[in-house]
Amino acid sequence: MCNEFLRHIMLTINLDDEAEKYLREILSQEQTNTPELVKKLLRNYLLNLRQPTTVLERMGGYPEHLLEETADFSDRDIRKGIIAKKLQEKQQGSD
């Protein structure tokens, strides 16, 4: 019954001048009509609500190449040495 009711809802919104300007601009950029744009915006909003992402996930996930190493990177001197070694290898490879 709820789905049937929702199918018959007609949405009327009074937009101020600024909001109308935004809507016209978005419609011209998206090359779509108002109902399709509203549907797209609602779908995207709902997806964002359902899938809260961490900063790490938004950046592409865990840096697997860093997790593969067996060395202990918690010590700064170890990290500096490994970075220096990698840079040296890269420099020798480009010569």
Q: Which residues contact 72 (CB under 8 A, 6 or more apart)?
A: 78
Residue 84 is assigned to a structural domain of this protein: yes
What pLDDT does residue 48 have?
80
Note whether residue 36 is domain-resident. no
Return the SS3 of 2. Answer: helix
Residue 8: per-residue pLDDT = 61
Place of tokens 């860093």: 66
For 28-48, the pLDDT digits (tens) are: 898 888 888 888 988 988 888
Task: Place 21 in a pLDDT band, splitting at 50, 70 and 90.
Answer: very high
Would you say residue 74 lies in a domain? yes
Tokens of 80: 């500096």
Look up the domain containing 85 and give its range.
69-94
Is pTM beyond 0.85? Reply is no
For residue 73, being part of any structural domain is answered with yes
Stronger pLDDT, 67 or 38, i.e. the higher one: 38
Q: Model confidence at 67, in pLDDT bands (50, 70, 90)? A: low
* 46 domain residue, yes or no: no
Split at pLDDT 50, 70, 90, the class of 50 is confident
Q: Domains in the chain: how many in total?
A: 1
